[in-house]
Amino acid sequence: MKFTETALQGAYLVAPERIEDERGFFARTFCRREFETHHLNFNLVQCSVSFNRQRGTLRGMHYQSAPHAETKLVRCIRGAIYDVILDVRSQSPTFGRWISTVLSADNGLMLYVPEGVAHGFQTLELESEIFYQISEFYAPEHGRGIRWNDPAFAIEWPIVNPILSMRDRMHPAFVR
């Protein structure tokens, strides 16, 4: 796997190294040893899938608060998404900054999202499916969200008028 540091402290783009032949390819998508080599302690305890029927579906911006803050490894296994992470760690040198990348079944890229960083995505294709590897068990009482269009962060989404759940529509503006 190839690890590329992003502009947000502790966040990485991870590219599986494909071994290809006439049948297709094989690629490793997780290896604890390789993550540890990059000083990424990833204790995998849970995996989840998000399936999205419509193009323009937006989910986010989500995170869990301490003591259940979670690290995520996010990969699009069908379709394509515009993936966004937002640093909401008050002591971080990249606090308040966000980055985006396209994750797709075709490019196979993964995004390593450190704890304390909010995550969201917008689907770019019909029937997009996202696979999450997560370091903490889901704790609903620690689930947090930030409004997807909070003017304090001015995240640029590619599709205007997204499809949103009522929960995501009602997330508050961020308060430091």
- Give the residue numbers marked as catalytic: 62, 132
Q: Is the peptide bond preceding residue 61 cis, with omega within 30 degrees of 0?
A: yes
Question: Residue 153: which residues within 8 A CB-CB, separation 6 or more?
Answer: 86, 96, 98, 146, 174
End-to-end CA distance of the chain: 36
Among the listed residues 81, 109, 106, the one whose alpha carbon sits nearest the alpha carbon of residue 11: 109
Question: Residue 50: which residues within 8 A CB-CB, separation 6 or more?
Answer: 59, 129, 130, 132
Question: Residue 118: which residues within 8 A CB-CB, separation 6 or more?
Answer: 60, 61, 62, 63, 85, 86, 88, 144, 145, 146
Quote the DSSP letter at residue 33.
H
- What is the largest distance, in Å, between two alpha-carbon atoms of the chain? 53
Contact 57, 112 (CB under 8 A): no
